[in-house]
Amino acid sequence: MKDLKFIAQQLRKPAGDFAATIADKMNEGNKPLYDLTFSSMNLHDGDTVLEIGFGNGFHFTEFLSLKNNLTLCGIDYSEEMVKQATERNLKFVNSGELLLTEGSSDKLPYADQIFDSYSAIW
């Protein structure tokens, strides 16, 4: 039972030595959800999108290639995931296409009505 509690904690907020492994497994498991999300989003060039719970940012390259001049804002509860996603996608962060924040989805630090779309893979 102790192992299940640990796994649940890691899935909610990956941290420590297991964060990278958990993120990789979540990327693998969430791939069909991302594919479905990408195919069903009605994005336009220049849209600003909110990604809630982005993990290690593995899917950002594909996300940002869907349309021209997208801005992708992301919020994740895990400090470790924000760090990994930033390192993985430094090119997009430096260009301003990707803005990442550590925080909770129940207290979003964004102004109302600034997003054209959102994605939440839970």
Domain holding 62: CATH number? 3.40.50.150
- For the chain, the domain total comes to 1
Mean predicted lDDT score pLDDT of the chain: 91
| Secondary structure of the chain in HEC code, one letter for each residue | CHHHHHHHHHHHCCCHHHHHHHHHHHHHHHHHHHHHHHHHCCCCCCCEEEEECCCCCCCHHHHHCCCCCCEEEEEECCHHHHHHHHHHCHHHHHHCCEEEEECCCCCCCCCCCCCCEEEECC
How many percent of the chain have pLDDT more than 90?
61
- For 7-42, what is each residue's pLDDT tens digit? 888 888 888 888 889 889 888 988 999 999 899 999
Predicted TM-score (pTM) of the model is 0.84
User: Which pLDDT does position 2 carry in this prediction?
Assistant: 66
Structural domain boundaries, residue 12: 2-120
- For 105-114, what is each residue's pLDDT tens digit? 999 999 888 9
Is the pLDDT confidence value at 120 over 70?
A: no
How many percent of the chain have pLDDT more than 70?
96
